[in-house]
Chains A and B, each alone.
Chain A
Amino acid sequence: MLKIITKYKSAFRQASPCTTYICLLFLVLLLAGCQLKEVPFTKVEVVISLPDDALQAGKAGYVVKLTNIATGHWQTLTSDSTGVLLITAEEGVYNVEVSGQKTLTTTVANGGAQQTYTQTVDIRGLLEKSLVTGGQMSITVPMQIAQKGNGFVIQEIYFTGSLTPANGSYYQDQYIEIYNNSDSVLYADGLSVVESNHLSNVAVSEYTNYPNDLIVGALYTIPGTGQTYPVQPGGSIVIASLGINHKTSNLNSPVDLSKANFEWYDSGKDVDVPEVPNMIRNFCYSNTIWVLHVKGYHAYAIFKAPGTYADFLSQNTVSVQTASGSSVTRIRVPNALILDGVELGAAGTIGSKSLSSSIDVSYTFCDGSYIGKSVRRKVLSRVNGRAILQDTNNSGKDFISNAIPKPWEVE
């Protein structure tokens, strides 16, 4: 064996420069192959930016979640009162989600006084596909109070009516507009509009025995078999008191409702426009016709009964006392069924609310009656041209007061 080794040594001594070069080349290749380009990390400063109406909640207690969209791996941290978090993350593209549940206090003018309401809300922020790179960087996440209504919402209520040229009262041009705030087709069949029995100018609610219900005095329902009346995403339906062009009946009226989708019709005592489908009058306190309170003392809501309305009415008809002390029959609508609700009130006259704060924590209003103005929901954002209306269950923030009525329009 030694002899062989000696011969090998001799052979290598005689090796040509070419052989030496090849041996060195092997060595370089070998070393080059072992180097790893390590996963780079970046220190990310996540800054929580609250909207003005949520500043009172403070910046502590928000959960910040960074999710790498390629790997799906995520990490979470909870913010302190500074609202600034330092997170070390691998370089990549991330979704940054921030969320927290807070109790907010809303103060609404009530004449010279202030009315205060509290509400538990979700405050969220999302930055999608943020590039995390460069070793150190800062990301500011704008937060907003979370949307509640991702289906049907009340877009507009025109309740004030208008004056005729002769200064007469004209309330026949009232309407309620309902909007599909989702990204899919919804069906209006079976959707009901209700009016609270309670008046917001009454100091104390008569219905404290029904904390989880809305006691209503009017309940009108859109007919249909389930898929008769589709509403496209970003589309709306206008429910009129009377489906005509009111501009011809009253030169001061701001609306033409001749193309209204439905009208509420009170059989025998109301004017029926045959071109406009009628809603089903399931219940109404009025023995004649139903008119929206032109001062806006009621709350309005939309809901769908889980079964037939005959069953719903038989199970939810209750006897309640009015503010004057008399006993009347009304309908109880569980809050859990309500899709959306808007509390109306005349500024300076708010006594107590009809709607639970889980449906509407405050109220919206117009500055008078017969002024040809409405309350209309604000546009939060637009996705591919479709408007998403703001719904944080706080009508004092979500609605434009004293808006010019514009049925079928969003702005």
Chain B
Amino acid sequence: MKYILISILSVVSISLYAAGDADSLHTQVAAWESPWRSFSNYFDYNPAATFAVPVKHFTEVGASYLLSHADNGMHLVQEGDGASALQFHSESFQVDTKYRFFGKATFSSDQKDHVGWRDVEDYELLSPYLIADSIGGTYKRETYSLSGGASVRFRHTEWGIRGSYQGDVSYRQVDPRPRNTVSVIRINPGVVYSQGNWQYGLFGEYVRYRQNVDIQVERADRKVYFYLLEGFGIYNQQFSVLDETFTRIYKGNLYTAGLHANYGDARQSTGALIALKRAEITVDESDKRTPYQLTHNEITAQVTHERELFHQTLFLKGIYSFHQAIGNETQYMPRTINTNFIVWDYATQSDRYQSRNQHAQFSALLANKNFNRFSVWEQLNGAWQDAQQYYYYPYYHQFIQDATGSGTIGINCPLRKSMLTGSVKAGYKKVLSSSLEQTENNVITTQLILPDYAFLTSDYAFYQLNLKIGFRLSTSMLANISAGAGLQKANDKQAFSTDFHININF
């Protein structure tokens, strides 16, 4: 904790030293948070793609508070029915003639209520191979993250590297008490070559992931049944156990490689990006067993286009991604040595779980890039998703195909001593087709599989309102206060979320 705070303060100090002039602050902040930043997001993949960052100087420290609640049936069981989070962050991006520096530090403390059927963090990454008990409860988490990077430009080439560390500890305070310690180290190098109106980029990323799961039952006379989940309500009946403790370690190595190209002139810009991701995760248990291995493969391709239209700028973006996860399971045969010591010998291994998700999204945004005048922007989004899960022997499956459409209207309103921005979004998610085939007759099916399936196959409308006002505190300092509210509404149930932010920009 001490080192994290020192790191955060260091980033803030660098930011203050490099702070820009006061007149451009409103513009810099507005550009940093503009709705079209996500249309040209090469910098998120490639630390050398600073050409895609619309500002030269941006520094912010701030705090956020988020609160949400969902009715029964409007949330995933493993997400819980309510959440609250308090977050502090500091972020900076600075451009010199030759160098660019960027960094971000965050600390957050959050809580999720009535979480069920998981005793691990990052359950989406690690599913279906989770540890779970049938009791569940409130999950608390503290997260520290620090990232920093730099790029340097030599004539036509810009080289960049970004590194980050994230650590989080999550826990429950009633029996059974899981304590999950997660550490994520990320290295992300990249290069961009510019020639005339063209920019070509290559990038890579390596992520080392570790999660130690340590579950304890403190009450002396009590034991809990630990289910080793394998998906679709199946659990390993050889090693699931009624006990007072359980430990497991998830180890992961994630690799990403990609390239992008962008053409831009004074009137238009067109770009394309492709990224391939592969993650290999192993599950280590006591007795030197590695019963599960998960492999994630993902390809993401996106095309963006930007051009002048009606004295405004039209942004178009299409994304397609395909994600596959394969779960490999090993079975073991016990061998007894000296009558009481058991060694687990390898018996057989096969791929028994697979998920295949396709996601396609199209977005169009018409906006005015001039932040010094009142303007209205409009955005339309359409998305299609096909999520398939399979279990092999017994042959189970779950198919869900849905489509989502939404429209957003936003304003940018400069006032005498402040800037008001806001947006209203409305959309609808419609399930196009779905099916679930599984015949496990147990508590996992009734308490996890069926409720999650019911939520994922429900249609609902969603609304989001955001308002933000920025005040000039001094010639070189800006304060921003913003609030948001979201609502998801199905026929007879709903979920809401609110968020509040206070930020200071230098």
Q: Residues of A at under 8 Å CB distance from B?
A: 4, 7-8, 11, 19, 22-23, 25-26, 29-30, 33-34, 36-40, 68-73, 90-93, 129, 131, 133, 384
Q: Which of B87-95, B180-188, B212-220, B257-265 lies at the binding interface?
A: B257-265
A209–chain B nearest beta-carbon distance, Å: 49
B202 within 8 A of A: yes
Q: Are A90 and B276 in contact (CB under 8 A)?
A: no
Q: Are B392 and A133 in contact (CB under 8 A)?
A: no
**Residues of A contacting B84 in the complex (Cβ-Cβ under 8 angstroms):** none
Q: Are A70 and B324 in contact (CB under 8 A)?
A: no
B396–chain A nearest beta-carbon distance, Å: 11
CA distance A90 to B202 in the complex (A): 45
Knowing A26-B274, A91-B331, A93-B332, the reply to whether A33 touches B238 (Cβ < 8 A) is: no
Q: Are B351 and A129 in contact (CB under 8 A)?
A: no
**Residues of B contacting A7 in the complex (Cβ-Cβ under 8 angstroms):** 198, 263
B289–chain A nearest beta-carbon distance, Å: 11
A21–chain B nearest beta-carbon distance, Å: 11
**Residues of A contacting B286 in the complex (Cβ-Cβ under 8 angstroms):** none
**What residue of chain B has the Cβ atom nearest to residue A68's Cβ?**
B331
Q: Are B237 and A26 in contact (CB under 8 A)?
A: no
Known: A19-B259, A37-B350, A39-B351. 8 other contacts (CB 8 A): A11-B198, A29-B257, A30-B297, A33-B295, A71-B236, A93-B333, A131-B333, A384-B339
**Residues of B contacting A4 in the complex (Cβ-Cβ under 8 angstroms):** 263, 270
B348 within 8 A of A: yes
Knowing A4-B263, A71-B236, the reply to whether A133 touches B257 (Cβ < 8 A) is: no
CA distance A29 to B275 in the complex (A): 12
Contact pick for A39, options B276, B326, B333, B352, CB 8 Å: B352
**Binary flags per residue of B257-286, CB closer than 8 Å to A gives 1, else 0:** 101010100000010001010100000000
**Residues of B contacting A25 in the complex (Cβ-Cβ under 8 angstroms):** 257
CA distance A8 to B199 in the complex (A): 12
Q: Are B333 and A129 in contact (CB under 8 A)?
A: yes
**What residue of chain A has the Cβ atom nearest to residue B350's Cβ?**
A39
**What residue of chain B has the Cβ atom nearest to residue A25's Cβ?**
B257
Knowing A7-B263, A39-B392, the reply to whether A30 touches B350 (Cβ < 8 A) is: no
A13–chain B nearest beta-carbon distance, Å: 13
Q: Are B237 and A72 in contact (CB under 8 A)?
A: yes
B443 within 8 A of A: no
A189–chain B nearest beta-carbon distance, Å: 28
A42–chain B nearest beta-carbon distance, Å: 9
**Residues of A contacting B349 in the complex (Cβ-Cβ under 8 angstroms):** 37
Knowing A26-B257, A33-B295, A36-B326, the reply to whether A90 touches B393 (Cβ < 8 A) is: yes
Chain A CB within 10 Å, residue with most, of B259, B354, B393: B393
**Residues of A contacting B352 in the complex (Cβ-Cβ under 8 angstroms):** 39
CA distance A38 to B236 in the complex (A): 19
Q: Are B351 and A70 in contact (CB under 8 A)?
A: no
Q: Are A92 and B331 in contact (CB under 8 A)?
A: yes
What's the A-B contact tally at a CB cutoff of 8 Å? 87
B34 within 8 A of A: no
B299 within 8 A of A: yes
CA distance A104 to B349 in the complex (A): 44
A20–chain B nearest beta-carbon distance, Å: 11
A-B CB contact pairs (8 Å), 26 listed: A11-B198, A11-B261, A22-B257, A23-B259, A25-B257, A26-B257, A26-B274, A33-B297, A37-B349, A37-B351, A38-B392, A39-B351, A39-B352, A39-B392, A40-B348, A70-B236, A70-B329, A71-B230, A71-B236, A73-B393, A73-B394, A91-B347, A92-B348, A93-B331, A93-B347, A131-B333
Q: Are B276 and A129 in contact (CB under 8 A)?
A: no
Knowing A30-B276, A30-B299, A69-B237, the reply to whether A91 touches B334 (Cβ < 8 A) is: no
Knowing A26-B257, A30-B276, the reply to whether A91 touches B348 (Cβ < 8 A) is: yes
A74–chain B nearest beta-carbon distance, Å: 11
**What residue of chain B has the Cβ atom nearest to residue A5's Cβ?**
B270
B332–chain A nearest beta-carbon distance, Å: 7
**Residues of A contacting B394 in the complex (Cβ-Cβ under 8 angstroms):** 73
Q: Are A71 and B274 in contact (CB under 8 A)?
A: no
B194 within 8 A of A: no
Q: Are A40 and B350 in contact (CB under 8 A)?
A: yes
CA distance A70 to B239 in the complex (A): 7
CA distance A345 to B251 in the complex (A): 71
B74 within 8 A of A: no
B234 within 8 A of A: yes
B464 within 8 A of A: no
B253 within 8 A of A: no
**What residue of chain A has the Cβ atom nearest to residue B197's Cβ?**
A7
CA distance A300 to B278 in the complex (A): 74
**Residues of B contacting A30 in the complex (Cβ-Cβ under 8 angstroms):** 276, 297, 299
Knowing A7-B263, A30-B276, the reply to whether A69 touches B198 (Cβ < 8 A) is: no
Knowing A11-B198, A22-B202, A93-B331, the reply to whether A70 touches B299 (Cβ < 8 A) is: no
B328 within 8 A of A: yes
Q: Are B259 and A70 in contact (CB under 8 A)?
A: no
**What residue of chain B has the Cβ atom nearest to residue A14's Cβ?**
B195
A369–chain B nearest beta-carbon distance, Å: 45
**Residues of B contacting A36 in the complex (Cβ-Cβ under 8 angstroms):** 326, 351, 354
**Residues of A contacting B348 in the complex (Cβ-Cβ under 8 angstroms):** 40, 91-92, 133
CA distance A280 to B339 in the complex (A): 44
Contact pick for B237, options A23, A29, A37, A70, CB 8 Å: A70
**Residues of B contacting A34 in the complex (Cβ-Cβ under 8 angstroms):** 297, 324
Knowing A30-B276, A70-B238, the reply to whether A91 touches B259 (Cβ < 8 A) is: no
CA distance A203 to B43 in the complex (A): 103
B405–chain A nearest beta-carbon distance, Å: 25
CA distance A93 to B295 in the complex (A): 25
**What residue of chain A has the Cβ atom nearest to residue B324's Cβ?**
A33
**Residues of A contacting B329 in the complex (Cβ-Cβ under 8 angstroms):** 70
CA distance A34 to B351 in the complex (A): 12
CA distance A7 to B263 in the complex (A): 9
The residues in B between 417 and 460 inclusive whose CB is less than 8 angstroms from any CB of A are none
Chain B CB within 10 Å, residue with most, of A4, A11, A71, A90: A71
**Residues of A contacting B392 in the complex (Cβ-Cβ under 8 angstroms):** 38-39
Q: Are A38 and B202 in contact (CB under 8 A)?
A: no
CA distance A92 to B295 in the complex (A): 22
CA distance A91 to B332 in the complex (A): 11
**What residue of chain A has the Cβ atom nearest to residue B275's Cβ?**
A26
The residues in B between 300 and 351 inclusive whose CB is less than 8 angstroms from any CB of A are 324, 326, 328-329, 331-334, 339, 347-351
A28–chain B nearest beta-carbon distance, Å: 10
Q: Are A69 and B350 in contact (CB under 8 A)?
A: no
**Residues of B contacting A40 in the complex (Cβ-Cβ under 8 angstroms):** 348, 350
CA distance A71 to B239 in the complex (A): 10
A216–chain B nearest beta-carbon distance, Å: 44
**Residues of B contacting A68 in the complex (Cβ-Cβ under 8 angstroms):** 331
CA distance A92 to B329 in the complex (A): 11
Knowing A26-B276, A38-B392, A71-B234, the reply to whether A131 touches B347 (Cβ < 8 A) is: yes
The residues in B between 168 and 207 inclusive whose CB is less than 8 angstroms from any CB of A are 198, 200, 202
**Residues of A contacting B332 in the complex (Cβ-Cβ under 8 angstroms):** 70, 93
**What residue of chain B has the Cβ atom nearest to residue A4's Cβ?**
B270
B243–chain A nearest beta-carbon distance, Å: 18
Contact pick for A33, options B239, B274, B278, B328, CB 8 Å: B278
CA distance A256 to B227 in the complex (A): 56
**What residue of chain A has the Cβ atom nearest to residue B237's Cβ?**
A72
CA distance A11 to B331 in the complex (A): 52
CA distance A43 to B334 in the complex (A): 22
Chain B CB within 10 Å, residue with most, of A4, A19, A72, A73: A72
The residues in B between 71 and 87 inclusive whose CB is less than 8 angstroms from any CB of A are none
**Residues of B contacting A133 in the complex (Cβ-Cβ under 8 angstroms):** 347-348
